[in-house]
């Protein structure tokens, strides 16, 4: 079975969606995606900027 290919933008979207909707520990979610907590918070901030249109 081949690997599932995703784009960085799709990974960010999946991460933010999980962080907002799932009852999951933020640190564990970051570890699952292989990113630091600092990067996780940056992705969350970037997503609010996209929604706000800033």
- Give residue 12's pLDDT: 92
- Give residue 1's pLDDT: 63
What does the pLDDT look like over 1-54, one tens digit per residue?
Answer: 677 788 888 999 999 999 999 799 999 999 999 999 999 999 999 887 666 555
- What distance lies between CA 52 and its chain's CA centroid? 17
In the chain, what are the domain boundaries?
Answer: 8-52
Question: How is the chain classified by DSSP, letter by letter?
Answer: -PPPP--HHHHHHHHHHHHHHS---HHHHHHHHT--HHHHHHHHHHHHHHHHT-
Distance, CA of 49 to CA of 22 (rounded, Å): 21
Are 36 and 8 contacting, i.e. CB atoms less than 8 angstroms apart? Answer: no
């Amino acid at each position: 079975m081949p690997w599932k290919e995703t784009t960085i933008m799709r990974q960010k979207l999946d991460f933010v969606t999980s962080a907002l909707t799932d009852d999951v520990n933020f640190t564990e979610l970051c570890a699952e995606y292989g990113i630091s907590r600092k990067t996780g918070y940056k992705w969350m901030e970037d997503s609010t900027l996209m929604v706000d249109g800033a």
